Structure 1
């Protein structure tokens, strides 16, 4: 039986995502007939060409003329008219410039000209705006896909996947994706949904496939559904679009599902599987241990459009562990997406992964997808890279650990580290303690200095509006960044979000959260609005960010 694994829009198309290559490698190692398709990248590549954008431009013009023919426009139609007229106004400019813009982003010379790069991305963003206007009020960017229908409500999602007027993906999937998916008569389709921005596009894809061939078993997986186990098990209507869901880690479950469909392996013995049986939704045993990361093969990227990613070089993602070794930040629920405890991959195996992928794909650029590389792993791996004289460049997420020394920074740089992302979140000691970050400001500055002196770019993430944070504490964070701009190379920031399964969500009284807003209709939400009785209000936080 042929299994096809699909990665749907919307996700930024700069490099492959690791979910499909990991599953594909595992299934191939177990003698399964499997192939993978990055539909997300193919979609963006098809849209952002002259011929592709022309189709959306013509559609936008048709809708514009329909509105112009009306004697009077309602307020909502006035907004649509404005969006369409804006797209038509810059349409020719974007259509004629889109292919040059893509070439600049993929050029090994022009990519590093910041003005050219900025203008190229601007043209591509305008292209996405043009395409979106044809499906107003939907809005597609490189970072999100928003519709009038909420992705937080199952009833809205079910409406969205059939809304041909506002869903930008239906026609594309039917015309271009479906023939490729159905080729070879697959018996199982697996769709990986790892972000809420993929939910409506991913289920739209499932719906298109199910209508074309109801006999194909469609399985959905990914961290989105792991966070929604209770909700999915109560939402029977969604199972009209797919047949089963795998939650938590998927390798063993997917292999056993293939065996079930192939030769009758008992479906009740498939861990982490949710499926419909008659009128009931069945939730099988949830695995408490997860995969042994040291028994997993090197990810396989065969079949992916490696020449179509928006990058001057092929960048390959790798993973040194599963879970988060700290796993204590009170605002975070990342660890909930994994089974079991933190499991690091043996450094020799990790080094072999990188060496194998370097040789196979003729690239020397890598990103580590871990929530945070420990100094122990990152140091040991760097030693292997240096000893083997491997010429690679890479970036990773790390933490402000006291064990991060100047000597370690030098070794990382020698091993090819170009950039490290650090979650500082706040520069106020009290707020850091509330977050249970386990870091000290004195280490932050030292490590940023070590990175700068070693030639490693340090990027910091900040969160404003954490419960109980005051104006003065937020100002302390801003002043800390501004006064140390000689050491901190760049930073990005956002506002606190109350995520499902975080420690703040589970213990609201401990963080002065007086009310969490829940609505039975919002049954697919991964975050909630809330009232905070101490510290910055939501409006205050917006003012700080502005």
Structure 2
């Protein structure tokens, strides 16, 4: 059998995503050799950022301007006076941008990446170029890392069925037909797997599935990824999605995909495929119980076939995993633990072997641990092995502000190549820490951030504003921990990402909303694929008040945080920190 795995737009352009290389490595380990994998997101971006494509855009903008000049209707929306004004503005900007877009792309892939002003200017040019392209599909807006379909809801199956057929507002229909569909079909795969792991991939991913099924109805298409893992119950009530794909693989996909391949080659008994959701004879079936992998037996990710030279960075940064799941998993707000149902830890020695192999095979020392948080004892053993073997890796990872995260372990991590640690701070107010069930204390946060800075390990903090019952004063206490802490925010590589609390579908808080001060939960009936809810609270800030405070917190933190590159991209920030450390003069 021939398998084609596809990662659709849009994801961050600095580095590949881990899902397809993990599946590819597993399939090849089990004898399925005809596996191809493509990151269509980065291939598409590379093509859009070319003079050749720009010439085509210019012709279409001119045609659009002439059409709208004669027939523009209304003040806003597609085909309106506003649309015409945007197209005219884009035509005015075009000569400036067309001469600079390919040099901007080259800058991000070369030595100019490390010149902060050139880096900023290049990202600005790319964003303005994508904004220009977007005017053809107004009011849709494309950015490097996202897309906004302003006329449609991503969380309504009815809207999704419309937008994936909307030739005027969905640019991916043009992109895929012109650039990708022919090459996918020319490979004559027996199965196409599409990984949808972010909301920005929902419309592009489903559009691609529709085009593939319409071009070749007999070709088996399956969708995987964390988005639909969180929508298992919803999929039972959305039969229209099964017109676009034969089935969905939810939770972990390695064994499920392998068994699906085996069934397609044999008896086609889909009841044997773990974690599969499929429609048969008009009935939607969910294969349970859900299966979790023995990660000790999983191979290293296989990036063969990925266009590693197309990412917008001068060096390759590879995602890896040391564990799956969260060893803590009590945080009341967190739905991430759903992706991996239980915590499992890889062997440190095997992980070190995998890292050494990938370093040599893909010629890079840079790695990005995607674990929800590294556990302390296995991390200590891994760092001992990395130090003993002198692998000279450079990496970043996520951890918790555990009281047992000692300065000694941090020093071992630094010596093993850890350049930055990502922490979920969420709040610095102790009442809120306890209420969120974070399991951490203010004194641990202070000590660990100070230890990291003293040892030369950069720090990232995630912050949540507006968790139920939080007051404005409590939110500002968290803000002030960052804003008034010059030792922290002046440390090289520091980043901080505030976000507004979202009541997510599978978060632990949903098991007892009343206990968390939530009085009422609402969801528009049309949003049958909603990943979150509207709500009312009994005390603390209302959602509207929280949004206002969030804007204030975001603005104040932005004043003391270096947005580019550190708040923009963990991978870019890792490369900047590595460069800064390599240029520090050694002691005499």
TM-score band by shorter chain is over 0.9
Q: 2: distance between equivalents of 1:92 and 1:532?
A: 52
Point out the more displaced range, 64-73 or 310-319: 64-73
Q: In structure 2, the residue corresponding to 1:439 is in which secondary structure?
A: coil
Q: In structure 2, the residue corresponding to 1:164 is in which secondary structure?
A: coil
CA gap of 1:71–1:198, structure 2 versus 1, over 3 A, is closer
Shift of 1:265: 5.0
In the alignment, what sits opposite 1:382?
383
Q: Report Cα offsets for 1:9-50 as digits up to 9, x if no partner.
A: 111121110000000011111111211111111011111122
In the alignment, what sits opposite 1:524?
529
Aligned pairs (5 A) from 1:245-264 = 245-264=248-267
In the alignment, what sits opposite 1:83?
86
In the alignment, what sits opposite 1:349?
350
In the alignment, what sits opposite 2:174?
171
Q: Report Cα offsets for 1:165-197 as digits up to 9, x if no partner.
A: 111111111122112211231111110101111
**Is residue 113 from structure 1 mapped to residue 97 from structure 2 by the alignment?**
no
In the alignment, what sits opposite 2:318?
316
Task: Note if contact 2:25-2:299 (Cα within 8 Å) is conserved in structure 1.
Answer: yes
Task: Note if contact 1:144-1:197 (Cα within 8 Å) is conserved in structure 2.
Answer: yes
Task: Note if contact 1:57-1:131 (Cα within 8 Å) is conserved in structure 2.
Answer: no
Aligned pairs (5 A) from 1:406-485 = 406-485=407-486
Q: In structure 2, the residue corresponding to 1:169 is in which secondary structure?
A: helix
Task: Note if contact 1:5-1:34 (Cα within 8 Å) is conserved in structure 2.
Answer: yes
In the alignment, what sits opposite 1:15?
15
Q: Report Cα offsets for 1:273-305 as digits up to 9, x if no partner.
A: 111112211222232x50000011111001110
Q: In structure 2, the residue corresponding to 1:286 is in which secondary structure?
A: coil
Shift of 1:60: 2.8
Q: Report Cα offsets for 1:390-431 as digits up to 9, x if no partner.
A: 111111111111122222222111111111111111110011
In the alignment, what sits opposite 2:575?
none
Task: Note if contact 1:11-1:197 (Cα within 8 Å) is conserved in structure 2.
Answer: yes
Aligned pairs (5 A) from 1:69-218 = 69-70=70-71, 73-76=74-77, 77-107=80-110, 109-147=111-149, 148-218=151-221
Q: 2: distance between equivalents of 1:371 and 1:442?
A: 23
Shift of 1:490: 2.7
Alignment equivalent of 2:516, drawn from 505, 511, 516: 511
Shift of 1:329: 0.9
Aligned pairs (5 A) from 1:488-499 = 488=489, 489-499=494-504
Q: 2: distance between equivalents of 1:290 and 1:30?
A: 17
Q: 1: distance between equivalents of 2:164 and 2:351?
A: 40
Q: 2: distance between equivalents of 1:60 and 1:505?
A: 48
Task: Note if contact 1:8-1:202 (Cα within 8 Å) is conserved in structure 2.
Answer: yes
Q: 2: distance between equivalents of 1:532 and 1:60?
A: 48
Q: In structure 1, the residue corresponding to 2:423 is in which secondary structure?
A: strand
Normalization by structure 1: what TM-score?
Answer: 0.97
Shift of 1:70: 3.8
Q: In structure 1, the residue corresponding to 2:4 is in which secondary structure?
A: strand
Shift of 1:307: 0.4
Shift of 1:88: 2.3
Q: In structure 2, the residue corresponding to 1:487 is in which secondary structure?
A: helix
Q: 1: distance between equivalents of 2:53 and 2:444?
A: 50
Q: 2: distance between equivalents of 1:71 and 1:152?
A: 30
Task: Note if contact 1:272-1:283 (Cα within 8 Å) is conserved in structure 2.
Answer: yes
Q: 2: distance between equivalents of 1:516 and 1:92?
A: 51
In the alignment, what sits opposite 2:308?
306
Q: In structure 2, the residue corresponding to 1:350 is in which secondary structure?
A: helix
Q: 2: distance between equivalents of 1:394 and 1:116?
A: 25
Q: In structure 2, the residue corresponding to 1:298 is in which secondary structure?
A: coil
Q: Report Cα offsets for 1:109-145 as digits up to 9, x if no partner.
A: 3212111111110001111111111111111112321
Alignment equivalent of 1:292, drawn from 281, 294, 303: 294
Q: 2: distance between equivalents of 1:433 and 1:71?
A: 57
CA gap of 1:61–1:373, structure 2 versus 1, over 3 A, is farther
Task: Note if contact 2:72-2:84 (Cα within 8 Å) is conserved in structure 1.
Answer: no
In the alignment, what sits opposite 2:539?
534
Shift of 1:542: 2.3
Shift of 1:496: 0.4
Q: 1: distance between equivalents of 2:422 and 2:295?
A: 24
Alignment equivalent of 2:339, drawn from 337, 353, 358: 337
Q: 1: distance between equivalents of 2:454 and 2:62?
A: 55
In the alignment, what sits opposite 1:25?
25
Task: Note if contact 1:445-1:487 (Cα within 8 Å) is conserved in structure 2.
Answer: no
Q: CA RMSD of the aligned region, Å?
A: 1.4
Task: Note if contact 1:50-1:95 (Cα within 8 Å) is conserved in structure 2.
Answer: yes
Q: 1: distance between equivalents of 2:482 and 2:73?
A: 52
Question: Structure 2 stretches of 5 or more lacking a match?
Answer: 552-588
In the alignment, what sits opposite 1:2?
2
Q: 2: distance between equivalents of 1:285 and 1:543?
A: 43
Task: Note if contact 1:57-1:134 (Cα within 8 Å) is conserved in structure 2.
Answer: no
Shift of 1:72: 6.2
Q: 2: distance between equivalents of 1:217 and 1:71?
A: 43
Q: 2: distance between equivalents of 1:320 and 1:20?
A: 17
Q: Report Cα offsets for 1:214-258 as digits up to 9, x if no partner.
A: 110000111111111111112111111111111111111111111
In the alignment, what sits opposite 1:361?
362
Q: 2: distance between equivalents of 1:213 and 1:72?
A: 38
CA gap of 1:401–1:214, structure 2 versus 1, over 3 A, is same
Q: 1: distance between equivalents of 2:495 and 2:225?
A: 31
